[in-house]
Amino acid sequence: MGSEGLRWLLLGLCAVLCVSGRRARYTADWASLDARPLPAWYDDVKFGIFIHWGVFSVPSFGSEWFWWYWQGEKDPDYYLFMIKNYPKGFSYAEFAPGLKAEFFDPNEWAEIFEASGAKYVVFTSKHHEGFTNWESPTSWNWNSVDNGPHRDIVGELAAAVRKRKSMHFGLYHSLFEWFHPLYLSDKDSNFTKQDFIRNKLMPELYDLVTSYKPELIWSDGDWEAPDTYWNSTEFLAWLYNDSPVKDVIVVNDRWGQGCYCKHGGYFNCADKYTPPELPKHKWEKCNSVDTHSWGYRRNMKLSELMDLPTIIKDLVYTVALGGNYLLNIGPASDGQIPVIFQDRLLRIGEWLKVNGEAIYSTKPWRVQTENGTVPVWYTSTSSAVYATFHTNPKQFSFQLFVPKTSENTVVTLLGNPNPLKWAPLHSSGLVMLLPDLPSTPAEAWVIKLEGVA
């Protein structure tokens, strides 16, 4: 190699090393952590599946808050359910062996999630009951390997989801545990002690990240104590600087009292939060097919479930406003995803197969919604604008007022092979000629507009 070649090689090396060497390290404070750009994969994926599964799936009554309503609040519904159906003195811990997971097949779950069109999965590694769905060394006998199914549920699911290259794997994790003695004693100290953090929470969080390398941590159960008790900023600084997932990890905003909607990665704000207009910060709406519960409950009624058109509307609205949509299902204690949930997921997938280009990797447009012939919701890419509508106009002419057309404008209905005939309106917008709308159980159709501003 000539000296010229050597010079270029050194320059090239410096370009790599000097830049990476200069990359700032995050410090354990919100100003620094909040400035971290969200890894790009997250905004592209748009649609994910949330799974609540734990010991609460065994009584499967009321909601995943069963233990709390029963023994914390002593809610009469739960209390009576126990008196009627279980022997006197039966404890919550005695439900755990019933988490048998006889039919749990992680590959089947992953196949269903993939068929739904979801691009990420968020699974409860541990809910507020404290039962860990992996062999946590700090959750002795209250974990899925030493008890219940005797399987590493987190590990098996992570492997199955990752085998399908289209999906990212994330973990839900509750900071607090309703009845953990160390937590209760820290709470008694007005959170001036951190015994629970030192002996339970931190070992567990580090173990989760290093063992399973999740690409997303969906933190929860933060609201009773400030982030300084949870040591959230210290944990996040490690996660962003030094963890094995530092370049890909995405987190939400539940890291201590007063954090949500303010600090962290993307914002969840409250459960099922739906902003009225386009937020400035990346956000996610979580919602549950069973409107009364996140965990499986045997006493659910069909009328309490979101139907397919409602789900699709919610997804489209969320994406038009720049959010991701995380849709929850609760598998049963035997590991089976109730077939009614399977049906919802598969039909979402059918709709996305035709209309997914209006969802995945889109950006909010300059206008989010308008009332044309019927109300539409807009999304966009660099080459197209998409207008999704949920009302069949039952007429052939269809008007939109906001898009500015040009000579090059091409209008199509997704799923329909031929471009639509259209004409500009005299002030702004266009009128197009719709074909018979293809029937879809989702009751949502997408008009694609190319060459509009």
Ligand X SMILES: *[C@@H]1O[C@H](CO)[C@@H](O)[C@H](O)[C@H]1NC(C)=O
Q: How far is the CB of 369 from ligand X (least distance, A)?
A: 5
Shorter beta-carbon distance to ligand X: residue 133 or 379: 379
* C-alpha–C-alpha distance, residues 29 and 22, integer Å: 20
> How many residues does the structure list for the chain?
453
Give the H or E element holding residue 388. strand 384-389
Residue carrying structure tokens 């953090």: 197
Q: Does 60 bind ligand X (CB under 6 A)?
A: no
Choice from 164, 198, 272, 353 touching ligand X (CB under 6 A): 198
Positive or negative CA dihedral for 344, 347, 353, 358?
Answer: negative
Q: Which amino acid is at 136?
A: S
Choice from 43, 234, 307, 334 touching ligand X (CB under 6 A): 234
Q: How far is the CB of 188 from ligand X (least distance, A)?
A: 10
Which tokens in the block code for residue 330?
Answer: 């609760």
Q: How far is the CB of 174 from ligand X (least distance, A)?
A: 17
Choice from 97, 244, 375, 438 touching ligand X (CB under 6 A): 375
Q: What are the DSSP calls for 45-63, one per residue?
A: H-EEEEE--SGGGTT--S-
Q: Does 207 bind ligand X (CB under 6 A)?
A: no
Q: Does 366 bind ligand X (CB under 6 A)?
A: no
Q: How far is the CB of 231 from ligand X (least distance, A)?
A: 4
Q: Does 428 bind ligand X (CB under 6 A)?
A: no
Shorter beta-carbon distance to ligand X: residue 74 or 262: 262
Q: Are strands 47-51 and 120-126 parallel, antiparallel or unpaired?
A: parallel
Q: Does 231 bind ligand X (CB under 6 A)?
A: yes
3-state secondary structure (DSSP) of residue 188: helix
* C-alpha–C-alpha distance, residues 423 and 299, integer Å: 54
Q: Does 202 bind ligand X (CB under 6 A)?
A: yes
Phi first, then psi: what are they for 226, rounded to 5°? Answer: -70, 160
The strand ranges marked E within 176-249 are 216-220
Q: Does 190 bind ligand X (CB under 6 A)?
A: yes
* C-alpha–C-alpha distance, residues 449 and 121, integer Å: 31
Q: How far is the CB of 225 from ligand X (least distance, A)?
A: 9
Choice from 197, 329, 359, 387 touching ligand X (CB under 6 A): 197
Q: Does 380 bind ligand X (CB under 6 A)?
A: no
Shorter beta-carbon distance to ligand X: residue 104 or 230: 230
Q: Does 224 bind ligand X (CB under 6 A)?
A: no
Shorter beta-carbon distance to ligand X: residue 311 or 400: 400
Choice from 133, 139, 174, 194 touching ligand X (CB under 6 A): 194
Q: Does 373 bind ligand X (CB under 6 A)?
A: no
Q: Does 72 bind ligand X (CB under 6 A)?
A: no
Binding mask 137-176 for ligand X (x = CB under 6 A): ----------------------------------------
Q: How far is the CB of 14 from ligand X (least distance, A)?
A: 34
Best CA proximity match to 152, nearest among 84, 79, 207 = 207
- The contacts of residue 105 (CB under 8 Å, 6+ apart) are 335
Distances (CA, A) of 143 to 57, 96, 99, 140, 412: 14, 9, 11, 7, 53
The order of strands in the sheet holding 410-413 is: 369-371, 375-380, 384-389, 445-450, 410-413
List interacting residues with ligand X (CB under 6 A): 190, 194, 197-198, 202, 231, 234, 369-371, 375
